[in-house]
């Protein structure tokens, strides 16, 4: 946690009541009537572009039709067939760039069908029953190690267990959930939903969880390959890139990822220290989340500084607009060159940049911003060396998740392909599980997202 003795960084900037209001549900759930009205806007397109835009290829027109027919739990089963983490994805997916961005009504009217909220309506309805919609196949006698209990690992473990394999799920943290538990902004996923989703998912049976065990520290890949029939790695990214700016070791400069995790785990958000003047360096979703949450905690000024133009930011236009609506200032084409202060951060010095097509360069024009707290949100890196072939600093894996080592698959943030999103992790974990199953059983791989069929449902 941030040093509470650093000048300007203090807790309790706002009352508990104000904090609770600030962190209330970003997109409140639809009631039954609202869901039926929203569902009626869908054209139920043939070869629907929203399905193509979804990394998990959920049959969106079908589940919306089921909601329109007053069958939200059937809609949930359609969703969970493809994405067992559909509940969290309904809350955190950048739908504006994926399914809703591809919606025919978005192209025609500028107002898409509210697919994300409809998905939440359906999944919440089924999960509220506290019953699991799938049952396990007969035991295969095959044992699989899944390392990393984030979205990719959870999706992989669930699909393997459903296929009848016995899964041991390892995670470096004592608490499972990965990105969903530690990396999602608190205003996007209220309460303890991430853990409730894990508990619900584990009802499939056949999965044992061993927390506090990290690959490279407590586990070796060689031993896992020797002890199990197959291994899946969903280890995420543990390192954070350096600013490469003078003074970045001053008090008050910290990782945005750590800040988000601390806020997610804080039982009382008002106790989390935040600066009076906050500067976030970066342009992705992590930068946006850190900036917005700083503002919600009571920071007076919050600025995002990004080295390129806003059109190059990793965060979507919707997320950028959300940040500015909360009072966050975005400075584009500016990179950090120094953090000034007497021991602790007091100012950030930025240099304006230009890109003539040959690369990013500084213009020589500089500015200073008051900053008692500086968050680094400039990307995460792989710190684990497990002997696998790498691509762009991440594990190289094919479309089925196969790595350069026999009987080892990988997916999620640690692999080179795909985006650092819950939905991508869920898709890659699911597809790797299907390939692992086919390999272990000597059968043809199922089509993408295929499940056990009606016999697998309760």
Q: For residues 367 and 190, which has the higher predicted lDDT (pLDDT)?
A: 367
Lowest mean pLDDT among 6-10, 78-82, 370-374: 6-10
Distance CA 115, CA 86 (A): 12
Provide the token pair at 456. 């697998």
Nearest-5° Cα angle at 402, 401 to 408: 110
Distance CA 304, CA 378 (A): 11
| Each residue's pLDDT tens digit, 388-400 | 999 989 999 999 9
| Each residue's pLDDT tens digit, 10-37 | 999 999 999 999 998 888 899 999 999 9
42 touches 65 (CB < 8 A): yes
Distance CA 283, CA 323 (A): 12
Strand boundaries in 149-240, DSSP class E:
166-171, 207-211, 230-233, 239-240
| Each residue's pLDDT tens digit, 192-250 | 899 999 999 999 999 999 999 999 999 999 999 999 999 999 999 988 888 889 999 99
180 touches 209 (CB < 8 A): no
| Each residue's pLDDT tens digit, 266-295 | 989 999 999 999 999 999 999 999 999 999
Residue ranges of alpha helices (H) inside 168-255 are 193-201, 221-227
Q: Residue 282, Cβ neighbours under 10 Å: how many? A: 25
Nearest-5° Cα angle at 180, 176 to 186: 120
Surface-to-core class of residue 389, CB atoms within 10 Å of its CB (0-12 exposed, 13-18 middle, 19+ buried) = exposed
Distance CA 233, CA 415 (A): 9
User: 435 — phi, psi (to 5°)?
Assistant: -70, -35
Enumerate the domain spans of the chain.
40-127, 143-238+382-456, 240-376
| Confidence band, pLDDT 50/70/90 cuts, at residue 381 | confident
Closest to 239 measured CA to CA, from 263, 221, 255: 255
Distance CA 344, CA 39 (A): 53
| Confidence band, pLDDT 50/70/90 cuts, at residue 456 | very low
Provide the token pair at 235. 């280890």
- What average pLDDT does range 37-46 have in this prediction? 96
Residue 288: which H helix or E strand, with range? helix 285-296
Domain with residues 143-238+382-456, CATH architecture: 3-Layer(bba) Sandwich (3.50)
19 touches 269 (CB < 8 A): yes
| Confidence band, pLDDT 50/70/90 cuts, at residue 5 | low
Query: How confident is the prediction for the chain on average, in pLDDT?
Result: 93
Per-residue confidence (pLDDT) for residue 4, from 0 to 100: 46
- What average pLDDT does range 150-162 have in this prediction? 98
Distance CA 368, CA 449 (A): 51
CATH 1.10.10.10 fits 40-127, yes or no: no
**Chain-centroid distance, C-alpha 25:** 17
225 touches 138 (CB < 8 A): no
Query: What value does the CA radius of gyration of the chain take, rounded to a whole number of Å?
Result: 23
Sign of the four-CA dihedral 332, 335, 338, 343: positive
Concatenating the DSSP letter of every residue in 348-401 gives EEEEEEEE-SS-EEEEEEEEEEE-SEEEE-S-EE-----S--EETTEE---TT-
Q: Is residue 451 scored above 50 in pLDDT? A: no
Domain 240-376 superfamily per CATH? FAD/NAD(P)-binding domain (3.50.50.60)
Distance CA 24, CA 18 (A): 10
Distance CA 428, CA 412 (A): 6
Overall pTM > 0.75: yes
Same fold, 40-127 and 143-238+382-456: no
| Residue linked to tokens 């009072």 | 327
């Amino acid at each position: 946690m941030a040093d509470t003795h650093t000048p300007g960084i203090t807790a309790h900037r706002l009352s508990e009541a104000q904090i609770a209001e600030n962190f209330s549900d970003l997109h409140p759930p639809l009631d039954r009537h609202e869901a039926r009205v929203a569902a009626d806007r869908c054209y139920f397109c043939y070869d629907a572009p929203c399905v193509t835009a979804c990394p998990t290829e959920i049959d969106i027109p079908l589940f919306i039709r089921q909601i329109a027919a007053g069958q939200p739990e059937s809609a949930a089963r359609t969703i969970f067939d493809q994405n067992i983490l559909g509940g969290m994805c309904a809350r955190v997916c950048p739908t504006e760039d994926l399914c809703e961005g591809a919606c025919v009504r978005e192209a025609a009217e500028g107002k898409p069908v509210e697919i994300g909220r409809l998905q939440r309506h359906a999944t919440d309805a089924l999960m509220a029953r506290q019953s699991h919609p799938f049952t396990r196949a007969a035991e295969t006698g095959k044992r699989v190690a899944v390392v990393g209990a984030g979205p990719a690992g959870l999706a992989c473990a669930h699909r393997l267990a459903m296929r009848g394999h016995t899964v041991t799920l390892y995670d470096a943290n004592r608490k499972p959930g990965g990105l969903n538990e530690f990396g999602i902004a608190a205003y996007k996923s209220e309460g303890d939903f991430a853990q409730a989703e894990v508990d619900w998912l584990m009802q499939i049976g056949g999965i044992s969880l061993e927390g506090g065990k990290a690959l490279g520290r407590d586990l070796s890949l060689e031993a896992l390959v020797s002890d199990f029939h197959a291994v899946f790695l969903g280890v995420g990214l543990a390192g954070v890139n350096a600013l490469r700016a003078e003074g970045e070791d001053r008090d008050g400069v910290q990782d945005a990822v750590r800040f988000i995790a601390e806020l997610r785990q804080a039982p009382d958000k008002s106790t989390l220290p935040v600066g009076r003047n906050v500067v976030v360096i970066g342009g992705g979703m992590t930068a946006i989340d850190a900036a917005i949450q700083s503002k919600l905690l009571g920071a007076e000024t919050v600025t995002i500084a990004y080295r390129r133009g806003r059109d190059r930011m990793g965060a979507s236009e919707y997320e950028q607009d959300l940040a500015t609506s909360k009072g966050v200032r975005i400075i584009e084409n500016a990179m950090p060159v120094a953090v000034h202060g007497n021991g602790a951060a007091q100012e950030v010095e930025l240099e304006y940049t230009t890109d003539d097509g040959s690369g990013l360069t500084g213009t020589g024009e500089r500015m200073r911003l008051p900053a008692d707290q500086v968050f680094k949100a400039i990307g995460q890196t792989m710190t684990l060396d497990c002997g696998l072939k790498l691509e762009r600093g991440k594990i190289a894996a094919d479309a089925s998740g196969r790595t350069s080592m026999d009987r080892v698959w990988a997916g999620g943030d640690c692999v080179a392909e795909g985006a650092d999103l819950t939905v991508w992790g869920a898709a890659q974990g699911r597809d790797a599980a299907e390939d692992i199953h086919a390999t272990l059983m000597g059968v043809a791989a199922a089509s993408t997202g295929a499940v056990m069929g009606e016999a697998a449902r309760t």
